[in-house]
Amino acid sequence: AGRAIDAEPALTRLSAALPSMDGPLSTPERILVEPLTGIDRDLRLPVGAFLVLLQAATFAVALIALVNVSSLLLTRSIDRRRETALRVALGASQRSLLAPFAIEAVVLCGMGSVAGLGVAFLVARVAPGWLPPLAIPLRFDLALDGAAFAFSAVAALTGSLIAAIGPALAVARS
């Protein structure tokens, strides 16, 4: 059905049937089908390790940004103690106290995500011209698609909820 996994057994069966068609000169062989990646088999491990390292660095930068946003929101919640105390005195529920902090976190992380997508779009347009000729036949696909936008949206929403936890706990304790 168009996949390498389906093609391998079919080609092996075909190879086994060839001796009966061509006589004793052909010998049945197992046919191995591998995806064409453009990377030599010997270089796949170093390239894969580099990509894992790149993903770890990206995750570390995202984690640092998340901690920074969380500390910013925590500082803002401390600055807003008087406002929070007044709202509690007027009978505000805990939900209505926490909602502005959550909305603020979602807006802040959403703006960061939009800015990040803008930078990614710019890099995707400009970066292919920066790449020097490589000894490895490597092609970078930097296209932004729906999956990239969906991942960015989910990451921004998750990050904003995580960033809002600290200020929400601080407000709830006070």
Q: What is the pLDDT of residues 40-91, one digit of tens each?
A: 677 778 878 888 998 899 889 888 888 888 888 888 877 888 888 888 888 8
Q: Residue 53: what pLDDT?
A: 92
Mean pLDDT, the chain, integer: 76
pLDDT of residue 134 exceeding 80, the answer is no
Mean pLDDT confidence for 112-129: 82
State the pLDDT confidence band at 1, using cuts at 50, 70 and 90. Answer: very low
Mean pLDDT confidence for 89-107: 82
| CA atoms of 106 and 157, how far apart (whole Å) | 6
pLDDT of residue 140 exceeding 70, the answer is no
Q: Is the pTM of this model over 0.85?
A: no
**In the 3-class helix/strand/coil scheme, how is the chain assigned residue by residue?**
CCCHHHHHHHHHHHHHHHHHHHCCCCCCCCCCCCCCCCCCHHHHHHHHHHHHHHHHHHHHHHHHHHHHHHHHHHHHHHHCHHHHHHHHHCCCCHHHHHHHHHHHHHHHHHHHHHHHHHHHHHHHHHHHHCCCCCCCCCCCCCCCCHHHHHHHHHHHHHHHHHHHHHHHHHHHHC
pLDDT of residue 2 exceeding 80, the answer is no
Mean pLDDT confidence for 143-156: 83
Looking at per-residue confidence, does 8 or 50 come out higher? 50
| Winning range, highest mean pLDDT, from 138-142, 163-167, 169-173 | 163-167
